[in-house]
Every structure is written in C-alpha cells, then in structure tokens.
Amino acid sequence: WLVLDGPVDTRWVEGLNPVLDDNRTLCLSSGEMMPLRDGVSLLLETDSIVHASPATVSRCGVVYM
C-alpha cells in the first residue's frame, strides 16, 4: 500500500492521474516512467476533495465518513 495522507492540492494530485488510471504508471518531470507493480494499491486520505479535479475523482473510489 502507498498511503498519502493530507490535503489534496491540484499542483501534485493531477500528476497522479496516470497512476490512477489503467496505465498505472508514474510519469516524472525528468521523462522517466515508473510503472506501479501488481499488488500495489494507492490510498489518498484527506478531509476534502474540493481542490481535486473531476478527472482525478473519476479515477478513485470515494468513501465519505
């Protein structure tokens, strides 16, 4: 598991979109591409998704408590 806990900010969360979709690949600013291995899950824990784009939210399962 990769757990990210804190406020969601478009400056960094948009970069995770390729990781969250079927490609499951992190694209770095250097041009390097790092695929997520099978069995790795990503958990974003935050108190608000007000700054997350619809593109990001649509790639996630959302649980609100």
pLDDT digits (tens, 9 = 90+) for 9-65: 888 888 899 999 998 999 888 999 999 999 999 999 999 999 899 999 999 988 888
Q: What is the pLDDT of residue 25?
A: 94
- Per the structure, the complete domain to which residue 35 belongs is given by 2-57
Residue 51: which residues within 8 A CB-CB, separation 6 or more?
Answer: 7, 8, 9, 10, 13
pLDDT, residue 47, reads: 92
pLDDT value, residue 6: 92
Q: What is the pLDDT of residue 64?
A: 84
Q: Is 63 part of any domain?
A: no
What pairs with residue 34 in β-bridges?
26
Residue 42 lies in a domain: yes
The distance from CA 23 to its chain's CA centroid, rounded to whole angstroms, is 12
- What is the pLDDT, as a whole number, of residue 29? 87
Q: How many domains does the chain have?
A: 1
Rounded (10°) CA dihedral 55, 60, 11, 27: -90
User: What whole-number distance in Å separates Cα of residue 7 and Cα of residue 35?
Assistant: 25
Q: What pLDDT is stored for residue 36 in this prediction?
A: 92
Tell me if 64 is assigned to some domain: no
